[in-house]
Structure 1
Amino acid sequence: MSEPIASGDSAWMPVSPCGAHCVHTSVPPAPGWRAVARLTALGAVGLTVVTVGAATIVLPRPVRHGYWRGSARIALRTMGVSLTVDDRRPADGRRLRGALMVANHISFLDIVALAGVSPARFVAKREVLQMGGFGPVARLFGVLPHVRGDLRRLRPMVDRVAGILDRGRAVAVFPEGTTWCGTASGRFHPAFFQAAIDAGVPVLPVRLSYTDRGHDTTMPGFLGQDTIGSTLMRIVRSRDLQITVTVFELQMPAGDRRRLAAQARALIAPADAVGTGREVAVDVTAPARREVAAQAVA
């Protein structure tokens, strides 16, 4: 979701031009009763997932991951969303362990869809943990809150991600830094690719795309001034929403973070994606601070 540029510590902030004008579909919405039924079921599933999920912390990791993978898929189906996985990795390369998963970012459903494929620690903006209804689930998923635009906290967060990767855990990031509608995409900011290089682990590029009854749709997008409620209503009013998760081959951490980011985006971004993303400088006056800012987003 795009947010206004703040002053002070938020010297650099990813900006997306996507908003309400991007939301479109060629499929008429489902009847209201179906949306109400889906929301009711989602509330029951969410309560169960949170209640039982809190107890899974004492279980072995494979069991815990299996629970969250299954719960994510159940939550999607409850909302009327189907999940398709197109895994293009060789059979011997499908064990995700200590890899940095990077994906394009369209909706808060992205986290649920990726968790339904392979649970990982997600890096997401701090506001995600403050979303009513979604925040508690995000905490149980182990979401790592990141303060976007605060350059003083960027390097410590990259180091934290590198430490998790070094312990053989998977971490997922959205390097665009904000949501795009899916028909356009932003540039991949390279900062978190440094964590893969520091830990010596591969990068796993993943593409997320959405269709409704076989037609491309931007309805699930969390865009512009959307709230979680307005986006959720569009999702449950979809006829036959499908998320396709395309998993590409592992990219080894050779070269520098800019090269890794460019390689990942070349695989993930749709061929007709025209957006380039941009960063806007705000209140950067001291030379030392200007240098730090440039290094952080370069």
Structure 2
Amino acid sequence: MTGWLPVAPCTPAGCARHTGAVRAPLPAALLLLSGCALVLLGVVCVPLVRLLGAGPRRRLTRRWARAVPQAFGVRVRVRPHAPDRTPGGGELVVANHISWLDIPLVASVLPGRTVAKREIRCWPLLGPLAARGGTLFIDRDRLRALPAAVREIATALRSGSRVVVFPEGSTWCGRGGGAFRPAVFQAAIDAGATVRPVRITYLTDPHGSGLTAGAVAFVGADPLAASLWRVVRAAGLTAHVDVLTPIPADGEDGRRALARRARAAVLGPGDLLQARQTAVASDRANRPAESVHH
């Protein structure tokens, strides 16, 4: 373990469970095929999409990204609490991290360049798509690479790009969460960018009154194939995406204060105590860590 690799207490056996209705194997297999086909279509079409203007490219990316979770059988509910555009400058989008589904969900409302761990480049389907989409890949095995990564993100923000990062540094099951690693917030401060918090919640009820959907949790040493199968087997999954009020990077007392403020916005006041209790063991083990990987 290094500072790039915070450890979450979540495990597939302990957290990734679905207690609601399940789909029969055949409908689930059809959803799996349709979802993978849509992702593959995105990989193939990236060179063509790049030929479009910025506006049409954003709109097409958002529609495709929203269709991906739906193709895997997950309903999507977007609740934009603020406009999805910040006038001028770059924008650092920060969200809690539960599942691989988080990536298309954020892209469906705020498409941008995602910060991801280097290993994702080798994933089937998703890896080539991420590389062609301008993903900023981070080498998590080299702590010395952290300053260069911060500079690279700051450069992208200065150019006016939107950069998406999951600053918990690892996936969590959704019951609480980890601290937001402050390194990436230094990039926002250096670039004078705006920080946009996004809250992602998975429930078993489309109206938001059901139980937390553990089936989507992609945690620990969970194989991607096993996670995909759990998602398509679980019926009634709904993803809620809350686009929250932006936070200016200037006027803060530094990157740690900015990270705490963004985390408080993403978790919400009702979840902060539970998240603090859940993350105690992880924070002790990773006290010096500052991760910016996906």
Q: Quick check: 1:13–1:280 contact (8 Å CA) kept in 2? A: no
Distance 1:296 1:41, change over 3 A: closer
1:37 alignment counterpart: 30
Q: How does 1:115-154 map to 2 (within 5 A)?
A: 115-154=107-146
- Take 2:289 and 2:180, find their aligned partners in 1: how far apart are those partners? 15
Q: How does 1:1-298 map to 2 (within 5 A)?
A: 5=1, 10=2, 13-20=5-12, 21-89=14-82, 93-96=83-86, 98-213=90-205, 214-253=210-249, 254-255=251-252, 256-269=254-267, 270-271=271-272, 272-273=274-275, 274-276=277-279, 277-278=282-283, 280=285
Q: Quick check: 2:84–2:243 contact (8 Å CA) kept in 1? A: no
- Take 1:264 and 1:196, find their aligned partners in 2: how far apart are those partners? 12
Q: Once the 2 structures are TM-superposed, how far is the Cα of residue 295 of structure 1 from its aligned partner?
A: 8.9
**Letter of the structure 2 residue corresponding to residue 127 of structure 1:** E
Q: Once the 2 structures are TM-superposed, how far is the Cα of residue 139 of structure 1 from its aligned partner?
A: 1.8
Q: Quick check: 2:3–2:290 contact (8 Å CA) kept in 1? A: no
Distance 1:44 1:296, change over 3 A: closer
Post-superposition Cα deviations, 1:138-158, rounded to whole Å, max 9, x if no partner, equal 223322111124221111111
- Take 1:279 and 1:158, find their aligned partners in 2: how far apart are those partners? 24
Q: Once the 2 structures are TM-superposed, how far is the Cα of residue 231 of structure 1 from its aligned partner?
A: 0.5
- Take 1:94 and 1:131, find their aligned partners in 2: how far apart are those partners? 30
**Letter of the structure 1 residue corresponding to residue 220 of structure 2:** G
Q: Quick check: 2:92–2:193 contact (8 Å CA) kept in 1? A: yes
Q: Once the 2 structures are TM-superposed, how far is the Cα of residue 18 of structure 1 from its aligned partner?
A: 0.3
- Take 2:288 and 2:21, find their aligned partners in 1: how far apart are those partners? 46
**Letter of the structure 1 residue corresponding to residue 278 of structure 2:** G
| SS in structure 1 at match of 2:93 | strand
Query: Normalising to structure 2: TM-score of the pair?
Result: 0.88
| SS in structure 2 at match of 1:86 | strand
Q: Once the 2 structures are TM-superposed, how far is the Cα of residue 26 of structure 1 from its aligned partner?
A: 2.5
Query: Normalising to structure 1: TM-score of the pair?
Result: 0.86
- Take 1:243 and 1:295, find their aligned partners in 2: how far apart are those partners? 30
Post-superposition Cα deviations, 1:221-268, rounded to whole Å, max 9, x if no partner, equal 111120110100011112121111111111111221000000011111
Q: Quick check: 1:13–1:279 contact (8 Å CA) kept in 2? A: no
| SS in structure 1 at match of 2:198 | strand
Distance 1:33 1:247, change over 3 A: same
**CA RMSD, 1 decimal:** 1.9
User: Number of matched residues?
Assistant: 275
Post-superposition Cα deviations, 1:114-148, rounded to whole Å, max 9, x if no partner, equal 01111011101111121122212222332211112
| SS in structure 2 at match of 1:207 | strand
Distance 1:82 1:296, change over 3 A: closer
Q: Quick check: 1:206–1:268 contact (8 Å CA) kept in 2? A: yes
**Letter of the structure 1 residue corresponding to residue 215 of structure 2:** M
Distance 1:224 1:118, change over 3 A: same
Q: Quick check: 1:131–1:228 contact (8 Å CA) kept in 2? A: no
Post-superposition Cα deviations, 1:196-245, rounded to whole Å, max 9, x if no partner, equal 10110111111111012333111111111201101000111121211111
Further displaced range: 50-59 or 169-178: 50-59
- Take 2:239 and 2:290, find their aligned partners in 1: how far apart are those partners? 32
- Take 1:166 and 1:27, find their aligned partners in 2: how far apart are those partners? 46
* Sequence identity (%): 36
Q: Once the 2 structures are TM-superposed, how far is the Cα of residue 167 of structure 1 from its aligned partner?
A: 1.1
Q: Quick check: 1:194–1:257 contact (8 Å CA) kept in 2? A: yes
- Take 2:50 and 2:38, find their aligned partners in 1: how far apart are those partners? 19
**Letter of the structure 1 residue corresponding to residue 150 of structure 2:** V
Q: Once the 2 structures are TM-superposed, how far is the Cα of residue 54 of structure 1 from its aligned partner?
A: 2.1
**Letter of the structure 1 residue corresponding to residue 256 of structure 2:** R
- Take 1:16 and 1:295, find their aligned partners in 2: how far apart are those partners? 13
